[in-house]
Structure 1
Amino acid sequence: MSGRAHPAGERPLAWARRCGVVLGVLASTLSPPALAGTQREEDLSDAVRAALRATLAQASEAPPTNAAPTDPAQAAWLQRVHPLFTRELQKRRGAGTPGRMAHELDAPGLRLDFLRTVWYESRRAGLDPDLVLGLIEVESGWRKFAVSHAGARGYMQVMPFWPRVLAQGDPASLFDLQVNLRFGCVILRHYLSLEKGDLALALGRYNGSRGQWAYPQAVLAAQKKWAQAGP
């Protein structure tokens, strides 16, 4: 991801474990603070833990590539959201302080790689890509190396206990694009199941603010913005 393919034969999670130390060092030097809540570590039954592990590991459609999308729905979504996404990143860069590093997604190829991965991991988990893109906007401002005060990491601000509980992995792997989105989407789908499909409660649980409405409202407003985006 991030414009680079994983080594042949390696799954994204295994590859990210190997490069976790390097990613962690980069994050410590490059990350602006992120605004995120605190996902709470919950006791999971063996059955739930096994199901989540299987969902993280299972393969489905082909992973994202830099080739033109063959799925008409994906192509239409990219055409719809990419122009607004580019404008939003330009606004964030323009509002930065002098000397601040450029946004990680400034390069057009990285933006497309990111959006293709959002589409892939969202659909894989049965989620709306507009919802996931809006959640990332609220959680991290689309920053790959974002770290919250509570230690949540990456685009979807996944807490570091999740790799330990579900994959016996290095939390630094959460700075890999596909690994972070894989965990984030699987966790959000899990919370939707726990909340019997109530999206507002699931979002609150994801953010560690269940029962408070400011965060769900912010994510749902961002989802609506992306759903209404046009070229």
Structure 2
Amino acid sequence: MKALLRWTALVVLAVAAPLALAGNQKEEALADSVRLALSNAIKDATPPTPSFRNPSDEARYRNWLDTMSYRLKRKLADEQTRTEFLATVWYEARRAGLDPGMVLGLIQVESAYRKYAVSIVGARGYMQVMPFWTNVIGDRNRSALFNMQTNLRYGCSILRMYLDMEAGNVYLALGRYNGSRGKPEYPNAVLAAWNNWK
């Protein structure tokens, strides 16, 4: 009986949980060189192992990790999960030439740090990556978008591409990432969230 009650409670929570707020990323025509670069960017399955030029860079990273871990404790209660998540965000953001704080802000708006979030339009995971990207630049494995590193790698690579397409204009790139280019609500929400993670 207790097992049945627990199962019923989980079903009710799953149904009552809000959908992620992702917009409808658009599948765009990509030049072959862009498609190849994106495909190569997501293929390397190297685990996130940070390397540092000097001890002060490592100290800054450790300070960032400790500070962000403390601030994210309410959203990701398990310390090991939180540490792995933050280390992967830092690694994938830096790998793509992005500010890790911007990526944390985008994740806050997109999925509220929910690994298995699915939007009404089908975007998946922390960074709400649309499944069509697995066909365009990946191996067609849509379920891999729920893997933390895969999701963050796709999301960071796609955001980097949009930043390049928009000549570095963060506002327009964020709108394009969300499928709402030209509308202020989403970019403003991410920029506000990014401020909280600086």
TM class, shorter-chain normalised?
0.7 to 0.9
Go from structure 1 to structure 2 and tell me whether the alpha carbon gap of 1:58 and 1:170 turns closer, same or farther (over 3 Å shift).
Answer: closer
**Quick one: which amino acid aligns to residue 159 of structure 1?**
M
Instruction: Give 1:79's match in structure 2, choosing from 66, 70, 83.
Output: 66
Q: Give, in angstroms, the shift of residue 82 of structure 1.
A: 1.5
Separation in 1, partners of 2:14, 2:88: 22
1:35 correspondence with 2:35: no
Separation in 1, partners of 2:79, 2:66: 13
Q: Give, in angstroms, the shift of residue 180 of structure 1.
A: 0.1
**Quick one: which amino acid aligns to residue 179 of structure 1?**
T
Separation in 2, partners of 1:192, 1:114: 23
Uncovered stretches (5+) of structure 1, i.e. residues with no partner: 1-28, 90-104
Separation in 2, partners of 1:176, 1:55: 16
Separation in 1, partners of 2:20, 2:115: 11
Separation in 2, partners of 1:30, 1:206: 27
1:143 correspondence with 2:103: no
Cα RMSD of the aligned pairs, angstroms, is: 2.0
Match of 1:63 in 2: 48
Identity of aligned residues (%): 53
Match of 1:47 in 2: 33
Task: Give 3-state SS (helix, strand or coil) of 2:197's partner.
Answer: helix
Which of 39-48 and 130-139 deviates more? 39-48
CA-to-partner distance for each residue in 1:52-109, whole Å, 9 max, x for gaps? 111222477x6249xxxx932321211221111114x2xxxxxxxxxxxxxxx32111
**Quick one: which amino acid aligns to residue 138 of structure 1?**
V
Match of 2:87 in 1: 116
Larger Rg: 2
Q: TM-score, normalised by structure 2?
A: 0.84
1:133 correspondence with 2:104: yes
Uncovered stretches (5+) of structure 2, i.e. residues with no partner: 1-12, 51-56
Task: Give 3-state SS (helix, strand or coil) of 1:147's partner.
Answer: coil
**Quick one: which amino acid aligns to residue 140 of structure 2?**
G
Task: Give 3-state SS (helix, strand or coil) of 1:201's partner.
Answer: helix
Instruction: Give 2:140's match in structure 1, choosing from 135, 154, 169.
Output: 169
Instruction: Give 2:128's match in structure 1, choosing from 153, 157, 161.
Output: 157
**Equivalent residue pairs, number:** 178
1:191-202 matches, cutoff 5 A: 191-202=162-173
Higher relative contact order (Cα pairs below 8 Å, separated by 6+ residues): 1
Contact in 1 for aligned 2:175/2:187 (Cα 8 Å): yes
Go from structure 1 to structure 2 and tell me whether the alpha carbon gap of 1:146 and 1:59 turns closer, same or farther (over 3 Å shift).
Answer: closer
Contact in 2 for aligned 1:30/1:145 (Cα 8 Å): no
Go from structure 1 to structure 2 and tell me whether the alpha carbon gap of 1:64 and 1:110 turns closer, same or farther (over 3 Å shift).
Answer: farther
Match of 2:3 in 1: none
Separation in 2, partners of 1:121, 1:30: 29
